[in-house]
Amino acid sequence: MDHEKSDRIRDMFNSIAESYDKLNSLMSFGQDKVWRRYVIDLADLKDGKSLLDVATGTGDIIIEALRRNKNITAAGIDFSESMLKAARERLNIKNVKLISADALAIPFNDSSFDVVTSGFLMRNVQNISEAFAEQYRVLHPGGIVICLDTTLPEKSISTPFVNLYFNFVIPLLARIISGNSSAYLYLVESMRNFKSADDLKDIMEKTGFTEVSYRKFMLGTIAVHSGKRP
């Protein structure tokens, strides 16, 4: 594994933790809430079910899950201490475990969870197949994996607007709000180099997930994939 790259990504998230929520909401025109709601729709977490959110960041996916049903057990991992600190402040609840850990070495036993989610993780990992394999390992048979991330949009009439948004709007917002536009330029760059929705689906199927499908949002720039551990 390229530890240097991994350390760089962690440092970058440590540096933007404070402004992350505000920028996320602005950059997505508030749509990020809609995507996370959809993730939790798919998770269908009934009483007593267990959720692991990988790369939980400031905890938004867990917050949405608990808003829908408090009678679940939830855990989150992330390798950025600063993001986790923000999550701990927001999720000031004893029954949510928040652990500092890498998505490629999830510190839970095999078959521990009913649902595993991740939001904007896969773009950052060194090896997407390994990350999905770890999520597969900690899921119960029959458990559900859900992955929210950016996706490469197909060329369409909206392509010039999408380009304008990524090349100018995001860096400008990042500079104004976080003072750290280089971190957000990394995010734009990582999105450009990321997989298409079909390629990601393919990786999930090769990992062993079945019933893999996806839905796109925001002019085809965001995708939510889901699958099942048979």
Any contact of residue 108 with ligand SAM (CB under 6 A)? Answer: no
Nearer to ligand SAM, 22 or 46 (CB): 22
Smaller CB distance to ligand SAM: residue 1 or 169? Answer: 1
103 contributes a contact to ligand SAM by CB under 6 A: yes
Select 28 or 73, whichever has its Cβ closest to ligand SAM. 28
φ, ψ (nearest 5 deg) of residue 211: 50, 40
Q: How far is the CB of 209 from ligand SAM (least distance, A)?
A: 19
Residue 110 — left, alpha, or beta (φ > 0 → left; ψ -120 to 50 → alpha)?
beta
Binding status of residue 13 toward ligand SAM by CB under 6 A: yes
Residue 19 makes contact with ligand SAM by CB under 6 A: no
| Binding window for ligand SAM (CB under 6 A); candidates: 57-65, 137-145, 164-172, 198-206 | 57-65
Give bridge partners of residue 76 from the DSSP assignment. Answer: 53, 98
Strand partners, 118: 54, 147
From the centroid of its chain, how far is CA 28? 14
Residue 79 interacting with ligand SAM (CB under 6 A): yes
Could you tell me the sign of the dihedral formed by the alpha carbons of 86, 190, 119, 109, in that order?
Answer: negative
Total Cβ atoms within 10 A of residue 36: 21
Q: Cα(39)–Cα(58) distance, rounded to whole angstroms?
A: 16
Structure-token pair, residue 194:
């990321």
Minimum CB distance to ligand SAM smaller for 73 or for 100: 100
221 Cβ contact partners less than 8 Å away, ≥ 6 residues apart: 150, 151, 153, 162, 191
**Angle between the 3-27 and 170-177 helix axes, to the nearest 10 degrees?**
90
Token pair 């180099």 in the structure block, residue: 193
Interface with ligand SAM, residue 178, by CB under 6 A: no
CB of 83 to ligand SAM, least distance (A): 4
- With contacts defined by CB under 6 A, name the span among 72-80, 152-160, 196-204, 206-214 that binds ligand SAM: 72-80
Q: Return the range that interacts with ligand SAM (CB under 6 A); candidates 96-104, 134-142, 170-178, 219-227.
A: 96-104
Range 118-157, binding ligand SAM (CB under 6 A):
119-121, 124-125
CA distance 1 to 69: 38
Size of site (CB under 6 A) for ligand SAM: 21
Q: How far is the CB of 35 from ligand SAM (least distance, A)?
A: 8
* Positions that interact with ligand SAM (CB under 6 A): 9-10, 13, 24, 55-57, 60-61, 78-80, 83, 102-104, 119-121, 124-125
